Amino acid sequence: MERKNCKSFFSPFFLLFFFFVLVIISCNKDVDTSPKELSEEAPSNGVHSEQNLYDGLIQLGQKLENPYSVENMRKAYKELVDKGLLKSSTEIKIDVSHLYVRFLPKDTAEFFLLDRTPDLLLYDYPLDYEIVQEGSYYHDPSIPEDQFTWFYTTVSVDFEFPEVEYEVLAECFIPEDDELKSESYSVYSKVEDLALLNAGYVEIAKNNDPYNELKGLRRPEGTIRVWDNEIGGWTPVRGVTIRCQLGVKIGKGTTNERGFYRIDARFRLGPHYRMFFYPDNGTYTIRNVPTEASLREAHSYGLGYHNKRGHNRDIRSSSSAAPFCIISNAAFDYYNWCRNNNISLPPRNLGIWAIGWSWIGASAPMISRINHPIHVNTNSGWNTFFLNMAVVPLAYSIKTTAQLLGVRPDITLNTNSSHRNLYSSTCHELAHASHFSNVGSWYWTQYIAYIITFGAYGSATDKNAGICGVGEMWGFYIDGLLTSRQYGGDRFDTRIYWFEHGIIRQLTSNALTWRPRLTNPLTEKQIFDCLTSDVRSHTQLRNRLIQRYGRQQEITAVFTHFGF
């Protein structure tokens, strides 16, 4: 198929403008960007590998034969018959079951169309090459770096292709588990074994693990852990997807609350393992910004070739992967907390940008979700008019350009901070994203405009201050609640802001001494259900709580104590 001309998916001017405004609209939760405190790490238990994880470009080695091509599987079958290892009367069906394909999106919109197609497991490198140096991304050297590279995967023969340029590289036969459990199991297994041997995969597997052998099918499983400096120990990595790939045969599994994964496919030989920072349920994707593939792919690390029984991995705090593990843990915990408490989840396919620049703060701009222009409001008169006139079109053009290009910075996080602060910031911004699910685009544009105009939290007298105050009360409360559960003790922010985030804590727990108390505290669900688009101030929140749940005297006393 003839390759279409590709267009640049972002420009340097766009990125410069975007990050400039991102500094302005950052939530400014006073992220600790001092060097990460490193604690002495305990050694692994001997079962977990601590091999380094590499950022940067993947280096490919020799091109390998595709063992699962129909041609090679039939050739292996014929060779077994010719050698007398199978009877000529033995009949098995070797027809096309899968297609090895590659896609070339012309822009980010087309990429996201691919990325959100169910069960389409994309790789940015060809699957029929040996990997000689692990990395976090690959870009076809024949394609300019500011254009999309080819994306490779295997699909079923009846797959309905989206409107994106693609090329079928090979027709394949990959035996399914039910075929391998049939009476023809021994025949299929012998054919697959010989095809893998002829393609050179047995040699590769044994070079990486001498215990690799062609004997039986195994479903890989294992545990991923990270050293959390705040805990001072190993903690499970939750909500990351592990993919196993043997040639064009691919399987996947997502780590649970114990960091345990089990791959949904079985392998006859040790596959290549890769860790992706997204859960396999379409909820969110964590991206590393800026990298070659930053604006389009989930951040990932190659774990190498390992045994088909599984692979365990420990990630040290000094690893570049550690901050992503902390973000993943916080997101996993937050989504589970929402489900358990019937709180609205953030919008699906949430884009989380992890940025390692000290001057970028945490924020929840939800840029790709906004359908209204951003207006800047000011109380400061003509002296800031021209400044605001510069910011308004800039902010709105960012939203428009980002939407056209498919760039989706729903949440930004600063990875150059302590593990506890990174966990806390992730929960804080995800709480804002859930709030967005309640209030929608118009409300959020006013929230962003307030922060652009007055800088972070402004003051109680600024126009639309109530929108910011209500939102930040909720964000600070949730990050303190979940961070305390993760790390123990009282991890609520003790700094005083004009919006007094202690109000929600007192309403839900009576945790603050010498404050008015509720006989029966409210639940987080009851608070959240009142955070609707028509609640734009402390007074409106107080009145909505009283309207729904009564207890007027007690609720009013709490708000009054904090000055509202």
H/E run at residue 524: helix 524-528
CA-based nearest residue to 126, from 94, 95, 96, 104: 104
Residue 250's beta-bridge partner residues? 245
Say how many Å lie between the first and final Cα of the chain, rounded.
66
pTM above the 0.85 mark?
A: yes
Q: Give the start-end residues of each E strand in 237-326.
A: 241-246, 249-254, 260-262, 272-276, 284-289, 300-305, 313-315
Check if the beta carbon of residue 499 is closer than 8 Å to that of residue 522. Answer: no
CA distances from 394 to 21, 95, 448 (A): 8, 56, 13
Q: What distance in Å separates the CA atoms of residue 372 and residue 369, rounded to the nearest whole number?
A: 9
Check if the beta carbon of residue 251 is closer than 8 Å to that of residue 267. Answer: yes
Q: What distance in Å separates the CA atoms of residue 513 and residue 297, rounded to the nearest whole number?
A: 47
Q: What distance in Å separates the CA atoms of residue 260 and residue 280, rounded to the nearest whole number?
A: 14
pLDDT of residue 46: 44
Q: What distance in Å separates the CA atoms of residue 173 and residue 72, rounded to the nearest whole number?
A: 9
Which residues of the chain fall below pLDDT 70?
1-51, 89-90, 177-185, 205, 207-214, 290-297, 358-360, 373-408
CA-based nearest residue to 153, from 132, 143, 136, 167: 167
- Expressed in percent and rounded to 5, the helix, strand and coil fractions of the chain are 35, 15, 50
Q: What distance in Å separates the CA atoms of residue 201 and residue 278, rounded to the nearest whole number?
A: 29
Q: Residue holding tokens 């005297």?
A: 553
DSSP 150: P
pLDDT of residue 407: 57
Checking phi first, is residue 300 left (phi over 0); if not, alpha (psi -120 to 50) or beta?
Answer: beta
Check if the beta carbon of residue 471 is closer than 8 Å to that of residue 530. Answer: no
Q: Is the peptide bond before 118 cis (omega within 30 degrees of 0)?
A: no
Amino acid 29 reads: K
> Max Cα separation, the chain?
92
DSSP 472: H
Q: What distance in Å separates the CA atoms of residue 255 and residue 241, rounded to the nearest whole number?
A: 6
* Total length of the chain: 564
Question: Per-residue b/e over 495-505, b at no fewer than 16 CB within 10 Å?
Answer: eebbbbbbbbb
Q: Give the start-end residues of each E strand in 126-198.
A: 129-133, 151-156, 166-172
CA-based nearest residue to 252, from 229, 218, 217, 220: 220
If 0-12 CB within 10 Å is exposed, 13-18 middle and 19+ buried, where does residue 548 land?
Answer: exposed
Give the angle 407-28-542 at the CA atoms, nearest 5°: 105
Q: What distance in Å separates the CA atoms of residue 165 and residue 162, rounded to the nearest whole number?
A: 8
Q: Residue holding tokens 């688009």?
A: 533
Q: How far is CA 278 from the centre of its chain?
A: 4
pLDDT of residue 534: 95
Residue 234's beta-bridge partner residues? 227
CA-based nearest residue to 293, from 406, 148, 109: 148
pLDDT of residue 337: 97
Q: How far is CA 252 from the centre of its chain?
A: 15
Q: What distance in Å separates the CA atoms of residue 317 and residue 98, rounded to the nearest whole number?
A: 41
pLDDT of residue 380: 42
CA-based nearest residue to 416, from 357, 495, 353: 357
Q: What distance in Å separates the CA atoms of residue 351 and residue 411, rounded to the nearest whole number?
A: 6
